[in-house]
Amino acid sequence: MEIAQFLLFVPDVFAGVITEAPPLLSYFVRILEFLLRIVASVALIAVMVSGVMYMTASGDVSRATRAKTYLLWSLAGLSIALLSFVVVRVLVSVLS
């Protein structure tokens, strides 16, 4: 599958009986996976930003504590996004 086709959600061309058409669940899963990839990317960027904040704290305890807090919540968001991806995959395998 081409990247442009995946990002633009261009449906595959199917010819034949309506029963041969892809189920609606497949489109729903593609949208969810796309959104989860965006969330995971934002969480990874937040982890990197909090690392830079920690390195540039220069011994300031309040700035270092704030960077650690940002890191904690960034990792929590990343783990929730990855767990959501796993849940979507399991639900798709069960419902298919």
With 0-12 / 13-18 / 19 or more C-beta atoms within 10 angstroms meaning exposed / middle / buried, residue 42 is middle
- Judged by DSSP in three states, 22 sits in coil
Asked whether the whole model's pTM tops 0.85, one would answer: no
Q: pLDDT tens digits for 46-85?
A: 999 999 999 999 888 999 999 999 999 989 988 888 888 8
- Judged by DSSP in three states, 70 sits in helix
Judge whether residue 3 has pLDDT over 80.
no
